[in-house]
Chain A
Amino acid sequence: MQTNRISSLEFGNAIDRSKPLEFIFDGRKLTGFAGDTVASALLANNIHLVGRSIKLHRPRGILSSGIEEPSAIVECAMPGDGPVPNLKATEVLLSEGLVVKSQNNWPSRKFDAFGVLSCGSRLLTTGFYYKTFLWPSWGWHRIYEKVIRIFAGIGRVQINGSGTFAETADKRHKYCQVLIIGSGPAGLSAALSCSRNGIRVVLVEQEPVFGGSLLWRKGFVGEVAGNQWISQTVEELKQNPNVDLFSHTMVFGHYDHGLALAYQKRSINDSDILWKIRADRILLASGSIERPLTFPNNDRPGIMLAGAVRKYINCYAVKPGTKAFVAIADETERDAAIANCGAAGIEVVECLKPDQEIVNVHGRHRVKAVSVNKSNGEKVRYTCDLMCVSGGWTPTVHLAAHIQGKLSVDKNMQVPIPPNQNGPLFSVGASRGIFDLNSILKDGQYQAHQAMSQIEVTADFTVSQPATVESASFPVSIKPVAGHNAFVDFQNDVTQADLTQAVAEGYHDIELVKRYTATGMGTDQGKTSWVNASQRIAAAIGEQPEAMGHTTFRPPYSPVPFSAIAGARIGDFMKPIRRTPLHKALKKLNCVFQTSGDWLYSRYFPQEDETLEQAVNREVRAVRSSVGFVDMSTLGKFEIKGPDAETFLSRLYCSNVAAMPIGKVRYGLMLREDGILFDDGTIARMGDHHYVVTATTANSEAVWRWMTRLAQTQWSELNVTLANVSEHWATIAIAGPRSRDVLSKFNFDFETDRREFPFASIRVGVVDTDVPCRIYSISYSGELSFEVNIPAGYANSFIDQLVDIGQNYGLTPYGLEALDVLRIEKGHISVGREIDGRTTPYDLGLEKMVSVNKDFIGRSLLNRSGLKSTERMQLVGLTATNQHSTISTGGVLASQQYSKGTRQDVIGHLTASIYSPTLNMWIALGLLRNGHHRYDDTIWVVSPITGQSTEVRVRSTNFYDEAGEQLNG
């Protein structure tokens, strides 16, 4: 029964009385209306006790009406969804069937067994945990930690809780010229100015409805009532296609270059959205936050911020009490609050005068009376069930501080204010200390024009800047109070006495006091506490409050769910997957794919019940004995054209490029500027001034960027054009003794016999009369091999033909695993293994590839003596002295076998080790100190993880066909 709901329709502009909603609070069924928050609905049902505080388990109620709420922290669950803990009751919109639970109490919030802790508040002062739990030393792990964990924190996370919204949260971009944060009178005024000048505007409001404080202050804009002005303004903005309006959207972070992140809560059937908003200029019209007063037992349920009381009355048609004691610093605010209470039927029993002091509040689960000391020493007690308190308003400057760092503290208002308004962020209205409505409206216009002038939009400059209106500050009680129950930070149970104690213990810097006392470290992030805290600290130190500064404001401005930051659960779509042009055809051949970088690469092709090892061995043997084919489409392919193409490549590669005949292919090594090997590939000459080079899959993008950078910047004098044709061409390597036989069956327009098409050459022509093709006679496997390049769209069709033709020759598809075995047997190098960012061509035995007759990138530093030292790690082949021994993958090379507890003399490491089905034994490649001069030595491959040691003999890296006879077919 909503006993506190005001029936008059004059109140309740935020609720829809035609839509009653049922919800449950601590097992009790209650009702509210659409538009209610959980807090307003609870107050409407005359429920003030909402939970217990974190440390002392003191009864707590609802202090405010917005995100600054420190006390009304609850757990909420939608039907069928998992509960979400630690939500502010003032932020959660009521919905049908919502289940709300109070937190941090047992067995109930009214009869909390842990409430006895509040009796020990003198012992549980700030920092008590640094001074206790020290003895005995074993006590921490066995007793104290376990007990503390029972008491620690508020709310419980359900590990297995479901969350469909969490799985669908979206992230989107929005761009605008002016972002306006806040839709109070300042924000709406600014938005009108901008929209009428054709500016692209995004207006963001953290509440579900637009209007800000004007919704409950009920002022007049000219002759028009506040609510009506809001409606008219919002309607005009909605009609403008250049304006985007977002309600229930909180900007929680302000970053470099005009980036703001905002979290939008949507309806129950829609996922929430994280907006990344880029704006040329930002207008911060975020208003201000009301400060509570500090006095003994100021945390009792029923003590509320005056502005919040007015908001509950006007927006939600809720009167939070029947007899109110008013203690408000500002005279105008006080008069307005009294009038509002009167209109709602709340009797104002007394107003606190500036020379009076509140010395106690009576009542435990709800305020029942207030004791006041008058200036003549008289002590008076007032019966009430509601207290409206206000120590003034603190501009909401957090988002400004995210970028601008520390802000200055105004001497008169003793609150932080934004610095001089030079943009790109402009504070507007109450967020820079302007509180008069007319001044706020003018300031909205003025700051909007400042922003527009900076983005060079014609604007009317007749609007003058209003002056900052000072808000009278009520002298906060600074006298030491008995009972240690004058709370400054409600959420973390920090009292005035705690702050005084911290100062006495030597903590004078506001950042240190914050961390020592935990002031401002709760989910409210100190929005209602830190100004009072800094004043208390200043008084204790004997400083002026403005000298204290403020703590560092960091994103998020208010807590944001991890689901919003993580975004939707999208499974395999988390990152792009690249497929080769042969993917469809390979899938038909029962390929097992693996991810290799972004690529989905063919790993192996199992038959029947083959294991990986069996399949790989079969594939390798097929290539060595007959013919196989593998997908090489991921290689980078770049065309270089122009009169200076040869010069360009000659500078780029350390290999000799000069005087290459047309139709020939060479192996090329590319170095970094420091002489270290960067990439390897092939260079093919297609025409007089036309070359095609290849790069490894791993370095394809890097090599392309490098080449284009050189062509455009350092070598811009060269007449050369480049094109990346990697995606255009599919590449299929057909390898094996019978590969030429297979190739000859295709309908090429050129000869493929050995004489016409020798090793290390390229043929360019067409297949099937009109399909262009390029075929390289090169080999990575060590067998006779042809790399067929065909436009990607024909790839699958080509594979179909190839498989058909290959049936007569035992053609076997093979994948990355078999390819790796083949290249290791041949001693060919690979990026990431032998080319590891530390090796030079000399280290890998490729000194013959380094031209001595020309200059190239990396030449001068390659000739450093250190890079030619014999003490360097050099590539060698390794075979086990016992043919049946295995060589551990990832092992290190040592002079002695492994002995636990004994320091190993590591002299190198393996880069690759495999079982060779061709040689029927384990072989390996490794980098060994002075390896080129250690052939026939025996050393050990050691695995400290498994403890295995294998004696190996050092040899050359070419294990198979050392004479290279297989290459020519």
Chain B
Amino acid sequence: MADYLVRETVFDFIECEMIGHGISIIECPVFVYEGQFRSKNELDHTCHSITHLDIQPGQMAASNGIQLLRFSPFSVYVVLEQQQPAKFSSEHRKKFFDISHGKCMLTIQGESILEIIGDYCSTDIFCNRISQNRVVKTRIIDYELVIWWHSNDKVNALVDRSYLQSFVEFFRSLLLRR
């Protein structure tokens, strides 16, 4: 028996070869917090104090290993690649709910992967607003997820843990079909 409990990811590494293009799907361990606020001003202030950036609904902001994804006036996701970044203090954490184990982050990399994803999204990710903000909560067929990107060849996705395996297998089969 293991002496201590061990945190596992659902997948370690999945590679999917598409004809002429290599596409990789990697699950990255992250820490995710959800903030719910009753006033927009309060959330504006909190986001600013974490990242020193203004972030409005439909936008994302990143600073010092902290990614903020905001979809509504009153709620925001905080995504941390390490657990204790200095800017996300315990004072800040008190206002947030820890959902780190409920969400899994995937990094999907490959040539023009954003366009491929766009073919199956129920949202127009290339409209002005979203292509500028580069973050959106959407669906790929029947899977709800949050995606954000910094280039057309690398997309990050937050998927509910229970759907993760099904989503990856489905997405892989979809890529193979192309």
Contacts and interface: CB of A to CB of B under 8 A. Distances in A.
Given A794-B5, A800-B2, A173 B122 contact: yes
Interface stretch (A49-57, A110-118, A309-317, A716-724): A716-724
Nearest to A599: B162
Given A173-B119, A727-B103, A796 B170 contact: no
Given A173-B119, A579-B166, A792 B2 contact: no
Contacts of B99: 723, 725, 727-728
Interface in A123-156: none
A797 interface: yes
A801 interface: yes
B5 A573 contact: no
Interface in B149-178: 160-163, 165-167, 169-170, 173, 177-178
A173 B120 contact: yes
B146 interface: no
B37 A721 contact: yes
B22 interface: no
Contact of B5 (A271, A729, A798): A798
B8 A576 contact: no
Contacts of B41: none
A580 interface: yes
B29 to A, nearest CB: 8
B7 A794 contact: yes
B108 to A, nearest CB: 17
Contact of A723 (B3, B97, B167, B170): B97
Contacts of B107: none
Contact of A175 (B4, B97, B100, B127): B127
B121 interface: yes
Contacts of A271: 177
Nearest to A167: B177
Contacts of A805: 1
A791 B38 contact: no
B63 interface: no
A797 to B, nearest CB: 4
B9 A793 contact: yes
A170 B177 contact: yes
A168 interface: yes
Interface string A578-608: 1111011000000000000001000000000
B142 interface: yes
Please indicate which of the listed interface residues B6, B98, B142, B162 has the most CB atoms of chain A within 10 Å of its own CB.
Answer: B162
A592 B140 CA distance: 30
Interface string A727-757: 1111000000000000000000000000000
Q: Helix, strand, loop or mixed for chain B's interface?
A: loop
Nearest to A792: B101
Given A577-B166, A727-B160, A794-B5, A639 B102 contact: no
B85 interface: no
A771 interface: yes
A527 interface: no
Contacts of A767: 5
**Most chain B CB within a 10 A radius of its CB, from A172, A568, A581, A723:** A723
A578 B162 contact: yes
Given A173-B119, A728-B99, A792 B178 contact: no
Contacts of A575: 142
Interface string A230-263: 0000000000000000000000000000000000
Contacts of B1: 800-801, 804-805
Given A721-B38, A801-B5, A573 B103 contact: no
A579 B162 contact: yes
A793 B8 contact: yes
A562 to B, nearest CB: 18
Interface string B116-156: 00111110101100000000000000110000000000000
B124 A175 contact: yes
Nearest to A581: B161
A798 B5 CA distance: 6
A580 B160 CA distance: 11
Contact of B177 (A168, A278, A719): A168
A570 interface: yes
B112 interface: no
A801 B5 CA distance: 8
A170 B38 CA distance: 43
B127 A725 contact: no
Contacts of A175: 124, 126-127
Given A721-B37, A793-B101, A573 B2 contact: no
B49 to A, nearest CB: 18
B101 A728 contact: yes
A794 B2 CA distance: 12
B126 A200 contact: yes
B68 to A, nearest CB: 17
Nearest to B178: A170
Contacts of B98: 725, 728
A575 B161 CA distance: 16
B36 interface: yes
A57 to B, nearest CB: 43
Interface string A209-247: 000000000000000000000000000000000000000
A639 B34 CA distance: 12
Contacts of B119: 172-174
A110 B149 CA distance: 64
Central interface residue in A168, A726, A793, A796, by most chain B CB within 10 Å: A793
A175 B121 CA distance: 10
Contacts of A796: 8
B165 A579 contact: yes
A355 interface: no
A719 B36 contact: no
Interface string A778-792: 000000000000111
Interface string A551-577: 000000000000000001010010111
B140 to A, nearest CB: 10
Given A175-B127, A727-B162, A570 B170 contact: yes
Nearest to A728: B102
A378 interface: no
Contacts of A768: 3-5
A771 B177 CA distance: 42
Contacts of B103: 727
Contact of A576 (B6, B37, B142, B178): B142
B8 A797 contact: yes
B173 to A, nearest CB: 6
Interface in B2-46: 2-9, 34, 36-38
Contacts of A725: 97-99, 102
Contacts of B173: 570, 573
A731 to B, nearest CB: 12
A771 B5 contact: yes
B114 to A, nearest CB: 13
Contacts of B170: 570, 573, 576
Contacts of B36: 721-723
A797 B142 contact: no
A727 B97 CA distance: 12
A577 B170 CA distance: 10
B99 to A, nearest CB: 5
B125 to A, nearest CB: 8
A771 B5 CA distance: 8
A942 B98 CA distance: 52
B120 A172 contact: yes
Interface string A167-184: 010101111000000000
Given A173-B118, A200-B126, 18 more contacts: A172-B119, A173-B119, A576-B142, A576-B163, A576-B170, A578-B166, A581-B101, A584-B8, A723-B97, A725-B99, A727-B99, A771-B5, A791-B100, A791-B101, A793-B7, A794-B8, A797-B2, A797-B5
Please list the 5 inter-chain residue pairs (A to B) with the smallest Cβ-Cβ separation, ordered nearest first. A727-B102, A175-B124, A728-B102, A723-B97, A804-B1
14 contacts: A173-B119, A278-B124, A573-B169, A577-B165, A723-B36, A723-B97, A723-B99, A790-B5, A792-B102, A794-B8, A797-B2, A797-B5, A797-B6, A800-B2
